Chains A and B, each alone.
Chain A
Amino acid sequence: MKYNINNKGYYGDFGGAYIPEMLYPNVEELRLNYLKVMQEPSFKEEFNQLLKDYVGRPSPLYFAKRLSKKYNTKIYLKREDLNHTGAHKINNTIGQILMAQRLGKKRIIAETGAGQHGVATATVCALMGMECIVYMGEIDIARQAPNVARMKMLGAKVVPALSGSKTLKDATNEAIRDWINNPVDTHYIIGSVVGPHPYPDMVARFQAVVSEEIQWQLQEKEGKSTPDYVIACVGGGSNAAGAYYHYLENTNVNLIAVEAAGKGVNSGKSAATSALGKEGIIHGSKTLLMQTNDGQITEPYSISAGLDYPGVGPMHAHLFKTGRAEFVSVTDDQAMTAGLELCELEGIIPAIESSHALAVFGHKTFKPDDIVVLSLSGRGDKDLDTYINHFKL
């Protein structure tokens, strides 16, 4: 296990739980129980059943014929966009709501940026009849009105984060504060492979179903379970963690992580954490993050709200530092163009997050017989306004 987590909660130099003492009992309770709960046959059975009947898994592994022809290689799309609620996020929230129930929690809190994780959390809370409070930056509430409405329809209370820069990182701070103030009955459903140990590992394990399916689907289609490349976009990094998970230790599989360069890596408006970040602590985890020389966390920018986070999960920091994954950054314009190309060639409107991953084909040449699996993490319905404005449709 060179690339996955060690028994102390670290991926190489990254991870751990850098949390105030007030959070220690909550996080420790989770750390002591999460693996045990996940091993329970009744937990596995309920998780798998819900993934199948409620989420609609397995998600197809689709051979993208026209895209493959254009780039002269073999491209498979892992269709997480076809999941219930439109993205991979639901895999994690299903797992965590079952975890919360097993731990006897009554109240669920979550943070959200664009609202996708908030919607996925509100969905599972409605499914289980649990109270749901979603923290969302005041600025994001204003620019993501449809998702705010969805959460409300699903019965969640959306609380504006008014502190700091009023976006995702501040919503995360507010959720953590709520947890400090409600240490006994509340479970915090973090939306990505970020936060203090055991969150990055727990979320990665819930998302690992993605690469588990890729293995047998590829076996069926290609007679082998391992692709030459796995490509995924990285904001916090949960869809990438899921797509990489079962290939982490197999270095014959090349991993490509795509970050949002925004208006350009050096433009001052970017979210390319591996290029711009330094080692430090964000939201309880030692990882790479964008910060001033003085250690203040800075505000990232990307056209894609899901990639607009100033850090990456500790797994990805480790994959970057060790060179296990190749990190590529893609600008707003390149991503939008790649998204539109998928619409035209394959009849699929991708989320702008996933469009970043698709832009890799314009950057990098693959061999004709390479098998390239790309995680199509979400669908583009939520992004129509952005596509309309960008292309003046």
Chain B
Amino acid sequence: MNRINQKLKENKKLLSIYFSAGFPKLDDTVSIIENLEKNGVDMIEIGLPFSDPLADGPTIQASSTQALKNGMTTNVLFNQLKDIRKTVSIPLILMGYFNPMLQYGVEAFCKKCQDIGIDGLIIPDLPVDVYNEKYKAIFEKYGLINVFLITPQTSVERINFIDSISNGFIYMVSSASVTGSSSGFGEAQTNYFKRIADMNLKNPQIIGFGISDSETFKQATKYAKGAIIGSAFIKHLKSEGVTKINNFTSLILR
């Protein structure tokens, strides 16, 4: 069974952390992953940097730009991760934009992910219908779970369709925004969390965008299986470096 599905069966709320590979330093990737696991994080999204990340706010874009300047490429990342399964056992998801994957070759990319032990992919700009028609079979051949996003504006019909072709979890974007833009959840958002929870979808939901501390983590996981933190963690990495990851995770999980 895929590590993501196993993790989702655990009777706890899940903390997932996103970071941009190659930031703050090119070779920090493995140490960040190992430290996150050691400090109780349940799942990790490894960001493959892109020059033009449309769905991301300033924090994640700046970290991507820095990572690219540091020399991060698809090949460099795969090389850094080649022995990751010797030391890390939690689910690992690659998150990136579609163009770099297209250039690598979608099938070659998926195969490489399987070889390394990557469990799933999040590709914000690969539309559901294109995935379903052209790439689903390839992802499945290599045992990869593809994760789709929904937002407060996503129609019930579309949510049901996304639920029907998903086989891991649904990434619930907390508000109509790019990453790292809101602070705290209002009534509109909690209503949306409740509305989705009441749909009883077959895939559990994990909430992302706007989660930055233990309070927002608790609010989100009241309605969902877990929550994802990205921008806030990157800010921490930027100011504190990779050695004090426990300071960050202990604040969230206290």
> Please, how many angstroms separate the alpha-carbon atoms of A45 and B124 in the complex?
40
Are A180 and B130 in contact (CB-based, < 8 A)? no
Which segment of A81-89, A199-207, A293-301, A366-374 sits at the interface? A293-301
With a cutoff of 8 Å between Cβ atoms, the chain A residues found around residue B54 in the complex are: 19-20, 23, 173, 176-177, 180, 283-284
Name 16 extra pairs, CB < 8 A, besides A19-B127, A21-B124: A22-B177, A24-B158, A25-B154, A25-B155, A163-B58, A181-B178, A182-B176, A281-B97, A283-B52, A284-B54, A294-B100, A294-B103, A295-B104, A296-B51, A296-B100, A297-B52
- In the bound complex, CA of A270 to CA of B139 (Å): 37
Stretch of B143-151, B198-206, B218-226, B236-244 on the interface side: B143-151
Q: What are 30 A-B residue pairs whose CB atoms fall within 8 Å in the complex? A: A16-B127, A18-B125, A18-B126, A19-B125, A19-B127, A20-B55, A20-B125, A21-B148, A22-B153, A22-B173, A22-B176, A25-B153, A169-B52, A173-B52, A173-B53, A176-B54, A177-B57, A180-B178, A181-B176, A181-B177, A279-B102, A280-B103, A282-B52, A282-B99, A284-B125, A291-B99, A293-B103, A294-B100, A295-B99, A295-B103
Q: Which residues of chain A are within 8 angstroms of B173 by Cβ–Cβ distance?
A: 21-22
When the two chains form the complex, which single residue of B61, B150, B177 contacts A21, counting CB atoms closer than 8 Å? B150
Given contacts A22-B149, A180-B176, A295-B74, is CB(A163)–CB(B99) below 8 Å?
no
8 Å CB contact of B101 from A25, A293, A295: A295
Asked if B98 is an interface residue, CB under 8 A from chain A, the answer is yes
How many residues of chain B are within 8 Å of chain A by beta carbon?
Answer: 42
Instruction: State the CA gap A283–B58 with chains docked (Å).
Output: 17
A360 within 8 A of B: no
Q: Which of A17, A182, A291 is close to B103, meaning CB atoms less than 8 Å apart?
A: A291
CB within 8 Å of B: which A154-203 residues: 163-164, 169-170, 173, 176-177, 180-183
- Asked if B61 and A164 sit within 8 Å, CB to CB, the answer is yes
A105 part of interface (Cβ distance < 8 Å): no
A278 at the interface (CB under 8 A from B): yes
Residue B114 interfacial (CB < 8 Å): no
Which residues of A are in contact with B by a Cβ distance under 8 Å? 16-25, 163-164, 169-170, 173, 176-177, 180-183, 278-284, 291, 293-298
In Å, the complex CA distance between A24 and B176 comes to 11
Q: Are A180 and B99 in contact (CB under 8 A)?
A: no
- Is A163 a contact partner of B73 (Cβ separation < 8 A)? no
Query: What is the distance, in angstroms, from A305's C-beta to the closest C-beta of chain B?
Result: 19
Q: Which residue of B lies closest to A172 (CB)?
A: B52
A163 close to B65 (CB less than 8 A): yes
Within 8 A of A (CB), among B95-126: 97-104, 124-126
Q: Provide the bound-state CA to CA distance between A284 and B102, in Å.
A: 14
Contact of A278 among B103, B104, B154, B178 (CB under 8 A): B103
Q: How far is the CA of A17 from the CA of B126 in the complex (A)?
A: 9
**Chain B residues, Cβ within 8 Å of A16:** 127, 130
Query: Which residues on B sit within 8 Å (CB–CB) of A22?
Result: 55, 149, 151, 153, 173, 176-178
User: Which residue of chain B has its CB nearest to the CB of A296?
Assistant: B51
Question: Do A295 and B124 touch (CB < 8 A)?
Answer: no
B50 interface hit (Cβ, 8 Å)? yes
Shortest Cβ distance from B96 into A: residue: A295
Q: Which residues of B contact A182 (CB under 8 A)?
A: 176
Asked whether B68 is an interface residue with its Cβ less than 8 Å from the other chain, the reply is: yes
Provide the bound-state CA to CA distance between A181 and B173, in Å: 12
Complexed CA–CA distance, A162 and B16 (Å) = 29
Which of A23, A164, A282 makes the CB contact (< 8 A) with B65? A164
3 closest Cβ pairs, A-B complex: A295-B100, A295-B103, A21-B149
Q: Of all chain A residues, which has the CB nearest B74? A: A294
Per-residue contact bits, chain B 134-168, to A (CB 8 Å; 1 contact, 0 not): 00000000000000111101110010000000000
Cα–Cα distance between A163 and B103 once the two chains are bound (Å)? 23
Question: Does B5 make an interface contact (CB < 8 A)?
Answer: no
Interface centre among A17, A22, A164, A278 (most CB of B within 10 A): A22
